[in-house]
Structure 1
Amino acid sequence: MREKITKQTILQVSTEIVNQQGFEALTLAKVAKTLKIKTPSLYNHLSGLKELKYMLTLNALNQLKHAITSAAIGKSGERALKAIGFAQIQFMRENPGLYGLTISIPDSCDPQIAQVSSEIIAIFLRVLEPYHLREASAIHFVRGLRALSHGFSTLEKQGGFNMNIPLEKSIDLAFDTLIRGLIGALSVNTMR
C-alpha cells in the first residue's frame, strides 16, 4: 500500500531533491515522480511550485533556528558564539540546498518568514548581550560570524581545503579571532 500523500511528505521529498540537486532542480514533475503520483495530484495539497518553494524556505529557516538554538543552550559568551558558528556550518553541510534558501529568501516581506528570520537574529543578539554592544555593533558581529561560517562551508563544499591539517581547528581559530577582535575593540571603545 502506498504511503498517504500529505504536505509533510511533499516537503520531505522536496527537501531531499533540493539538498541533492539544488533548488533550481526542483519541479512539481520531479516531486510527483519521486512520490509515484501524477503531477496534477500535487494540486490537492498545494497551489503550485510557488507555495512549495515558500514551504521549503520557511522549513529551512525553522531548521536553522533550531540548530543554532540547540547549539547555544547551556553555553554563554565565547562558547555560545562558537557553538552557533559551528552549528551554522553543520547545517550547511547537512542541508546544502536548504541553506541556500536561508540566504536568498524569495519573499522576505512575508510575515511568517520575517518572523522566523527575526527570531534567528534575536538568538545571536541574546548571546551577545553580555558584551553590551549597541545594536549596530551587534549586527556587524552577527554578519561577520555568518560570513565566516558561510565562507568555510562554501570552500569546503568546493574542495578548497585539501591540505592534511584539521579543518575544524582552522574554523575554531577563525572564530576565536573574530570573537577576540570584538572583545579587543570593546576594550578600547572603538566598536561603533
Structure 2
Amino acid sequence: MSPRAGLDTHTLVLAAAELADEQGIAEVTLAGLAAKLGVRSPSLYNHVNGLKELRTLLAIHGLEQLQTAMEASIVGISGDAAVHAMSRAYVEFARQHPGLYETTLRAPEEGNTSLEEAGGQILSLIINVLAGYELGEEGGLHAVRGLRSILHGFASLKNQGGFGMPLDLEVSLTRLIKTFIAGIRCMRSGEESGKE
C-alpha cells in the first residue's frame, strides 16, 4: 500500500478518535489505525512517535472536545442552570464518544504541558461555573472533584448499561445535580460537618 495523500497528525488523531469510539480505547493501536486509514504502520511514524504519543494526542483532543461541549452548553446562563446544563453536556459527550471520553480520565503526565493545559482548561471552566457559590479556592476544588466524580460515575454506569430500572435517566441526573448543589450550598454556609 502506498501512503495516503493528505495524511497528517490531525487526520491520525481524528481517525484514532473514531476507532476508540467504535471499538474501545484498547483497540487504538498503530496497526489498527493503519488498517483504518489504508496505510502501512511504518508510515504513521512520519506523524507520531509511537502509540504513547498517539494516545496523548488523543487525550488532548478528547479534553478539547469535552471542553467545547461543556462551554457550548452554558452560553448565556449561570448558577444552578449552568451546573445542570454543563452536567448534561458532560454525560452526553461520554455517551456519544465513549472511547474518546475514556482518554480524558487520566491525570496528565508531569511535564506534558499540552495535556496539562487541556485538562486545566476544563478545570478552569468548572471552577468558573461554581464560582458563584462562593466556596473559596480550596472549597471550589473539593466541589470540582465531587462534581467530576458524580458525572463520571453516572456517565460510566449509563454507558455500561448499569441502570436497568425503568426510570427516566434525565430525572435521575437532574435530582443528583440538585442534591450536589444543595450540598455545596452547605459547604458555603459552614454547615459542612466532619474533617478529613
Compute the TM-score of the two structures, normalised by the length of structure 1: 0.91
Q: CA separation in 2, counterparts of 1:71 and 1:24? A: 30
- In structure 1, distance between residues paired with 2:90 and 2:78: 17
**Is the 2:15–2:36 contact (alpha carbons within 8 Å) kept by the matching residues of 1?**
yes
Deviations along 1:149-191, whole A, 9 cap, x unmatched?
A: 1111111122221222211000000000110121134234548
Identity between Structure 1 and Structure 2 (%): 36
The one-letter amino acid paired with 2:71 is T
Question: In 2, are the aligned partners of 1:57 and 1:105 still within 8 Å (CA)?
Answer: no
| 1:44 partnered with 2:55 | no
Aligned to 2:123: 121
Task: Supply the distance in 1 between the matched residues of 2:143 and 2:32 (Cα, whole angstroms).
Answer: 40
Structure 1 residue runs of 4+, over 6 Å off?
A: none
Q: Tell me the residue number matched to 1:135.
A: 137
Shift in Å, 1:105: 3.8
Residue in 1 aligned with 2:158?
A: 156
Q: What is the distance in 1 between the residues matched to 2:49 and 2:116?
A: 22
Offset from partner CA, 1:1-38 (integer Å, 9 cap, x none): x6632222211211111112222211111111111111
- Counterpart CA distance in 2 for 1:185 and 1:54 is 36
Q: CA deviation at 1:89?
A: 0.5
Does the Cα contact within 8 Å between 2:15 and 2:33 map onto a contact in 1?
yes
Structure 2 counterpart of 1:20: 22
Query: For 1:103 and 1:143, how far apart are their aligned partners in 2?
Result: 12
Letter in 2 for 1:56: L
| Aligned equivalent of 1:29 | 31
Q: 1:172 to 1:38 in 2, by over 3 A?
A: same
Aligned partner of residue 107 in structure 1, secondary structure: coil
Q: Residue 104 of structure 1 is aligned with which of 103, 106, 109?
A: 106
Structure 2 distance, partners of 1:110, 1:3, is 30
SS at match of 1:37: coil
Q: C-alpha distance in 2, partners of 1:32/1:185?
A: 51
**Deviation at residue 106 of structure 1 after TM alignment:** 5.5
Q: Distance in 2 between matches of 1:39 and 1:186?
A: 54
Structure 1 CA distance for aligned equivalents of residues 16 and 152 of structure 2: 23
Q: Which residue number corresponds to residue 6 of structure 1?
A: 8
1:167 aligns with 2:182: no
Match of 2:91 in 1: 89
Q: CA RMSD for the aligned pairs?
A: 1.8
Q: What is the TM-score with the length of structure 2 in the denominator? A: 0.89
Instruction: Name the CA shift for 1:32/1:138 in 2 (closer, same or farther; >3 Å).
Output: same
Pair 47,79 (structure 1): closer, same or farther in 2 beyond 3 Å: same
